[in-house]
Amino acid sequence: MKGIYSDQTSFYLFPEEPDLGDLVTVRLRIPKYLGKSVGNVIFAPEKNAKRYQHKSMTLYKESEYYYYFESNFNMPDRILRYHFEINLLDKNKSIIYDAMGVLQNRSIVDFTLIAGFKTPEWAHGTVYYQIFVDRFYNADKTNDPVNNEYHYDGQVVVKKDWGTLPHPKNGHREFYGGDLKGVLEKLDYLENLGVETIYFNPIFVSPSPHKYDTQDYEHIDPHFGVIVEDTEDLTKKYKVRTTSQVNLNKSDELFQKLVEDCHKRNIKVVIDGVFNHCGSFHKWIDEMNLYGNGALYNESSPYRRFFYWNSKNEYEGWWGYRTLPKLNYGNINLWKYIANISKKWVSEPFSVDGWRLDVADDLGKSFETNTSFWRFFYKVTKKANPDSIIFSEIYKSPLPWLERQCWDSIMNYITCMDPISYFLTGMEKHNDYLKPELLKNSDYFVNAVKWGLSQLPMNSKFIALNQLSNHDHSRWMTRTTQKVGRLGPNTHEEAIEGRDLDVFKMGLVMMFTLPGSPGLYYGDEIGLPGWTDPDNRRPYPWGRETEEGLEILQFTRELIKVYKNSTSLRRGSFDFIDWQKGYLAYASWNKEESIVTIVNREEKVVEVEIPLWLLDKKKGEIEILFSTKEVDIKNKYYNEGRKNLKIPEKTAVIIKVN
C-alpha cells in the first residue's frame, strides 16, 4: 500500500527538536487513490506508555495525488511515542502507519520524540574521513617507534617499512610510523577530496599502533606527535619518550595546531574515546612500572578501585584480554575523571568537535550503570562545548540510550554497513561467512533499513556514521570478492583477487544516498583491499596507487560533489518507492529538490517503471546527476507520474526529478 507517509523532517514535524511543553505539529500524507480517508495521531507520553491517546487530524492541504492531514499537541513528557491510524471511510477499513511504514504482520514501532534533545547542525550529513594514524602518512621519522623499543603482550615491537603489509598475528606490535604531521601535510588532499570531518582512531599515549589500550588519556602519544627528549638506551627509551613532560606538551601543541588548521579549512575533528577499558601500561595499572604507583604492584594504590580484582589478585581484562583492564564504573571518582577528560579535549585550546565512543554499550556491568554514566558524560561534554557531537559504536538498537540522552547518534551498522553488504555481496562484514539468501534480496534490505531507521530519532538519523569499511571489519573492496576468510589462512593477494569494481562503486553510491553521514575509511577512495583486522590497516600507498585506484579516486571525488550539492541527500525525507529481487529504487526529497537513487544488482538489464507520483510529481523532466555506468534515458521527460527506464546490469544511478 504505497504512498502513505510521515517522518520527522520539518514538513511532517515541527519543531523538529521540541522542548517540554512546546506545541508540536505532526503531519501525515494519504494518497487519494485510497478514497475518502480520515487520519488520527495516536500518542503516548512516557509516564503512560501503555495508554495511548487518540487525536483526530484535519486536512492541511491537498495536491495532485495526496491529502495532507495535520494535528498538534503539547509535548507532555520527556519522551513521547506516536503512530497514526487511517480510517478508509469508503472501504470501512483502518490502517496503522508507524516508523517502519504500514503495519503488516508485526508489532507497532512508534516514532519517538525526546524533549530537549538537540543535535549539532554541522553534523547533519557531514562527510567523514576516518584516519588510522599509524598507517596514513609518515612525515616525521624522528618520532617513529624503533625495533625492540619495548615488549608488548609478550614480544618486542617491530618497525616496518611502509611498503610492506601487516603480519596476520603481529598487528598490535607492528608500527609503520604514521603521525599527526603526516595528516597536516595531507590536508590539501583531504580538502580536495571533499572531506568535512576527520574522525581519528585513538591518538592518546598507548603502546600499540591502534591505541585502543590507553596509557594516558591526558596527552597525545609522542610517537604520533613530537619527541624532543630521547635516549639510545633501549631499556629506558619507551619510558623517556612517553612520559617526558616536554614530549607530551609538544605533542599536545602539535595536535592543537592540527585542529586549528582543520578549522581554518572548515573541517571538523572527532576523536576516539576508549573508556570501557584502558591499557595495561596505564598509570592506574602500570604493568611496566613507568609511573610508580599503579595498582598491579601496589595494593594500596588509589587506583585499585578503578578495576575489578579476583581472589588471585588478578584484574579483569575486557573480553579476557590482559592488555585491556576493564574499568569499574561503580566508582564515582572514575566517572568524574573520564568526564573531565572529555571536557578537556572539547574545550580550548584543543576544541575538538566531538567523540566517537568505543563499544559504548559495553561500559559497565548493567544497563543502568551504562546509561547513568553516559548521561553524566553527555551533560559535562555538552556544557563544555554545546556544538560537539557524541556518537557511539553499537551493533544493536541504540534507542534506549538515545531516549536517555546518552549520545547524539551511532556508527550506523544496522542501517548501512550490514544491509548494503548483504544486498550487494551476501558477505558478513568480517568476510567470516556468506549468506547467499541475502544477496540481491531487496525485501530483506528494505525491511532491515526501515527497522534501522526506526530506531533513530530523525535528528540522530542524519548524523549516524554510514561506512562500508573501518578498522574493525574487512575492507569493502575485499567483501566484493565474496570470499570467506581472514589473513593467515588467506593471503594478502587473495583480498583483491576476484574483486567486483561495479559492486564496489554501487556500494559507495548507496552509502552516500541512504540517510546518515557518509564516512570513508582512509584508502576507501582508492579501493584499498584488506581482510579484517589487521589486514584492514594497511599503510596508504602514497605514490604507488594503481591506475584503477586513481580512477576510483576520481569517481569518489565526483560522488562527493554530487552529495554535497544536494540538500535532500544530506537532510531530507526518505522512502523506498520500488523494489524487486536485485533491484531497488528509493527517494530523498525536501521542499527544494527530489532525488531518486536506482540500484540494479542483477546481472542483466532491468526495465523498470519508476513511480514518480510517490514524490507528488505528475509531469516534468529528470536529470542524471551521477551513475556508475552510462544510462541511456532515451528522453528526459516523464508524464502521469511515471518514468520507464532501462538500467544496465550492476549499476547505480542518482536522478534528480524536476
> What average pLDDT score do residues 80-103 get?
94
Cell digits of residue 270: 572527532
Beta strands in 399-556 (DSSP E): 409-410, 465-467, 517-521
Q: How confident is the model at residue 347 (pLDDT cuts 50, 70, 90)?
A: very high
Given strand 13-14, what is the order of strands in its sheet?
Answer: 13-14, 23-31, 66-74, 58-62
* Residue from 378, 374, 386, 300 nearest 347 by CA: 386
Write the pLDDT tens digit of every residue in 532-591.
Answer: 999 999 999 999 999 999 999 999 999 999 999 999 999 999 999 999 999 999 999 999
> What average pLDDT score do residues 296-310 get?
94
CA distance 317 to 310: 11
What domains are there in the chain, each with its CATH number?
Answer: 13-114 (2.60.40.10), 412-515+522-552 (3.20.20.80), 567-657 (2.60.40.1180)
Query: Which residue matches cell numbers 590482559?
Result: 322
CA–chain centroid gap for 336, Å, is 27
What integer pLDDT is reported at residue 570 of this predicted model? 95
SS3 356: strand
Q: Helix axis angle, 501-513 relative to 547-564, nearest 10°?
A: 20
What integer pLDDT is reported at residue 586 of this predicted model? 98
Write the pLDDT tens digit of every residue in 489-518.
Answer: 999 999 999 999 999 999 999 999 999 999
Write the pLDDT tens digit of every residue in 348-360.
Answer: 999 999 999 999 9
pTM: 0.96
Write the pLDDT tens digit of every residue in 581-616.
Answer: 999 999 999 999 999 999 999 999 999 999 999 999
Enclosing H/E stretch for 488: none
* Residue from 588, 614, 598 nearest 462 by CA: 588
Enclosing H/E stretch for 267: none
Please, what sign has the CA dihedral across residues 15, 16, 22, 25? positive
Query: DSSP secondary structure string, 284-327?
Result: TT-TT-SSS--TTT-TT-TTGGGB-B-TTS-BPBGGG-TTSBBB
Please, what sign has the CA dihedral across residues 138, 143, 145, 146? positive
Residue 522 CB neighbours (<10 A) = 28
Is the CB of residue 431 less than 8 Å from the CB of residue 531? Answer: yes
CA distance 399 to 405: 10
Is the CB of residue 517 less than 8 Å from the CB of residue 503? Answer: no
619-656 burial, b if ≥16 CB within 10 A, otherwise e? eeebeebbbbeebebeeeebeebebebebbebbbbbbb
Q: How confident is the model at residue 49 (pLDDT cuts 50, 70, 90)?
A: low
CA distance 16 to 23: 11
Write the pLDDT tens digit of every residue in 194-213.
Answer: 999 999 999 999 999 999 99
Write the pLDDT tens digit of every residue in 436-492.
Answer: 999 999 999 999 999 999 999 988 999 999 999 999 999 999 999 999 999 999 999
Q: Angle CA(350)–CA(353)–CA(354) in degrees, nearest 5?
A: 110
Pairing of strands 111-114, 79-88: antiparallel
Pairing of strands 158-159, 216-220: unpaired
> What average pLDDT score do residues 377-405 get?
97
CA–chain centroid gap for 563, Å, is 17
Write the pLDDT tens digit of every residue in 325-341.
Answer: 999 999 999 999 999 99
Pairing of strands 620-627, 651-657: antiparallel
Query: DSSP secondary structure string, 559-606?
Result: HHHHHHT-HHHHS-EEEEEEEETTEEEEEEE-SS-EEEEEEE-SSS-E
Enclosing H/E stretch for 220: strand 216-220
CA distances 195 to 180, 191, 410, 615, 653, Å, are: 17, 6, 19, 30, 22
CA–chain centroid gap for 524, Å, is 15
Which one-letter amino acid corresponds to residue 407? W
Cell digits of residue 314: 588478578
| Residue 52 clears pLDDT 90, i.e. is over it | no
> What average pLDDT score do residues 242-254 get?
98
Residue 233 CB neighbours (<10 A) = 9
Using a 10 angstrom Cβ sphere, with 0-12 exposed, 13-18 middle and 19 or more buried, the burial of residue 488 is exposed
Residues of the chain above pLDDT 70, percent: 100
Is the CB of residue 116 less than 8 Å from the CB of residue 105? Answer: no
> What average pLDDT score do residues 226-232 get?
97
Q: What are phi and psi of 160, to 5 degrees?
A: -110, 155
Cβ-Cβ contacts under 8 Å for 411 (sequence gap 6 or more): 356, 391, 392, 393, 394, 464, 465, 467, 470
CA distance 307 to 315: 7
CA–chain centroid gap for 340, Å, is 25
SS3 247: helix
Query: Which residue matches cell numbers 554499550?
Result: 361
Q: How confident is the model at residue 48 (pLDDT cuts 50, 70, 90)?
A: low
CA distances 30 to 63, 93, 103, 576, 587, Å, are: 11, 14, 15, 16, 17
Q: How confident is the model at residue 76 (pLDDT cuts 50, 70, 90)?
A: confident
Instruction: Provide the mean pLDDT of the chain.
Output: 96
> What average pLDDT score do residues 145-170 get?
95
CA distances 612 to 2, 42, 324, 596, 645, Å, are: 12, 30, 54, 9, 12
Cell digits of residue 146: 624503533
Q: How confident is the model at residue 91 (pLDDT cuts 50, 70, 90)?
A: confident
C-beta contacts of 548-557 below 8 A and 24+ residues apart: 548/501, 550/526, 552/501, 552/504, 552/505, 552/525, 552/526, 552/527, 553/193, 553/525, 553/526, 555/505, 555/508, 555/628, 556/193, 556/508, 556/520, 556/524, 556/525, 557/192, 557/193, 557/194, 557/525
* Residue from 588, 495, 501 nearest 536 by CA: 495
Cell digits of residue 313: 589478585
DSSP conformational letter for 415: I
* Residue from 357, 306, 308, 358 nearest 332 by CA: 306
